[in-house]
Structure 1
Amino acid sequence: MDRFITGAMLIGAAILLVLLYRHLRRASVERIAQRAGYLDTCRALMDTPRNGRADSGFARLGGHYRGVEADIQVLPDTLTFRKLPALWVLVTLPGPLPVGATMNLMIRPTGVEPFSRFQTLSHQLDRPDDFPEDCAVRTDSRAHMPPEDLVRAHLHIFDDPKVKELVISPKGVRIVFLAEEAQRSRYLIYRDAEMGVAPLAPDLLQPKLDQLIALRADVLNAGVQELRA
């Protein structure tokens, strides 16, 4: 009888292990598919969209938006000292611009933003009048900063409280915004930091692309005027 009970317990334990493995395997497959498809609903915004994938498994989307090359990256930030893990979206219009320095404007920098080279820029500037009170501004060359009036004309980008960073550089322009944070109760109780279950909504991305298009046009126009002067 003891052998029968022991055998039954072993069989039951084996069945539970198999079921657990299948559950974890299915969850892993679903997570991979969710991350890979996170930008699928945004493909319609692009002409000739191109799909890619980052090391994190999250999708990367390229293509042309209103005739301009665009690049969309998704970056999870699960650093343990953060209040909650976060999912950042990097919206970039890459391409040469007539500016001689990189200018980076960031809201509440912590010094460890994984998506930014903010801390590597050598000069921190005093916050100009009318700039967001909780922002910091850095550059790699004070003498070749983009015109302050040009930047000020686009500060409405930060009317969206989820916008974290604006970059103007010789290589292009970028907006970084917070797409979502980990669900608080699941993270605090289970340390579950999974994000990106639902795809990114196009109406969250499109305004950022439009804002960058307008900013890029003003930077190009300022460069033309400088050449004519």
Structure 2
Amino acid sequence: MAARTIAPPSSQNEALPMITTLAFSAFVAFSCGWIGMRAVREHRDALAERRGLLDDAAKLLRNARIAFGPDQFPVLVGEISDGRRAKIELIADTMVTRRLPQLWLRVTLSETRECMRPTIGALARPTGAEYYSLVHDMPEWMSPPETDASLLMRGDGRATAWQIERGSALFKSLFADPRVKEAVITARGTRIIRQAAQGEPGAHKVLRQVRFPLTSIPTELVGLAIAEAGALSALLVDDDIVAPVYEAA
């Protein structure tokens, strides 16, 4: 019986797996390059968009001036109707990993003179990662008013019982709005921090970018924050209290 002869595989069949591997590698490299280029382009576009976020809000202030931080978020400074200085800032908060990035609107209203009043403030939903917060630096803990959200209330230890009661009542009203993050009263001014926007889920989860779905901060939101800072300023009348060391500005 004649032995069967097995023909060797053709060179064409041997090349197919190699060609497939090379094609797949080229596709992966192209896809990664395209994603990288897109991420860089979108990041540049996002930085450019940030610069105009407070252009409309500038119309609310006299002698308004806009500068830009290293992250290209604008900083607006001007005067309200009574001549007091208002500083409006935007803070991108990415410190809490299991939450979408937050864009905070921070409004600081400076007094024309240093007031003889204590420092007192409240922070909603504290995590300890609020690097922008003044409340974390205040030494004395206080019992906060009951609100739907957890509230941290602290001061410099100089407030009277009457002032604490007044502050608690206003904080309870302010923090009924879940978009309010922090409210502070100091001798030199007041501050309110509100949520302006929340990051886009796709950009954050896929590309790890911080993008917010807005091209301008609504003037209504800025006006509301300025009014709330004014309400904080009018809350505590002058008293025979040594001026605290914490500043709102």
Q: So what's the TM-score if we normalise by structure 1? A: 0.78
1:33-92 Cα offsets, whole Å, 9 max, x none, are 211111011111111111111222100001112222111011111225241111111111
Q: d(CA) in 2 for partners of 1:53 and 1:36?
A: 7
Q: d(CA) in 2 for partners of 1:137 and 1:145?
A: 14
2:224 — aligned with what? 207
Cα RMSD over matched residues?
3.2
Aligned residues of 1:52 and 1:60 also touching (Cα < 8 A)? yes
Q: d(CA) in 2 for partners of 1:176 and 1:182?
A: 17
Aligned residues of 2:180 and 2:193 also touching (Cα < 8 A)? yes
User: Size of the alignment, in residue pairs?
Assistant: 212
1:170 — aligned with what? 187
Aligned residues of 1:38 and 1:196 also touching (Cα < 8 A)? no
Shift of 1:21: 9.0
- Which moved further from structure 2: 23-32 or 176-185? 23-32
Aligned residues of 1:103 and 1:145 also touching (Cα < 8 A)? no
Larger radius of gyration: 2
2:47 — aligned with what? 32
Q: d(CA) in 1 for partners of 2:93 and 2:44?
A: 21
Q: d(CA) in 2 for partners of 1:212 and 1:19?
A: 47
Q: So what's the TM-score if we normalise by structure 2? A: 0.72
Q: Which runs of 5+ in 1 are unaligned?
A: 1-15
Aligned residues of 1:174 and 1:212 also touching (Cα < 8 A)? yes
Q: d(CA) in 2 for partners of 1:92 and 1:192?
A: 28
Residue type of the alignment partner of 1:190: L
Aligned residues of 1:50 and 1:62 also touching (Cα < 8 A)? yes
The partner residue of 1:79 within 87, 90, 95 is: 95
Shift of 1:29: 4.4
Identity of aligned residues (%): 26
Q: Given the superposition, is the C-alpha separation of residues 132 and 105 from structure 1 closer, same or farther in structure 2, using an over 3 Å criterion?
A: farther
SS of match in other structure, 2:223: helix
Residue type of the alignment partner of 1:77: D
> Which has the larger helix fraction?
1
Shift of 1:184: 2.0
Shift of 1:131: 5.7
The partner residue of 2:68 within 53, 56, 66 is: 53
Shift of 1:193: 2.0
Aligned residues of 1:104 and 1:165 also touching (Cα < 8 A)? yes
2:118 — aligned with what? 101
Shift of 1:18: 11
Q: Which runs of 5+ in 2 are unaligned?
A: 1-30, 241-249
SS of match in other structure, 2:144: coil
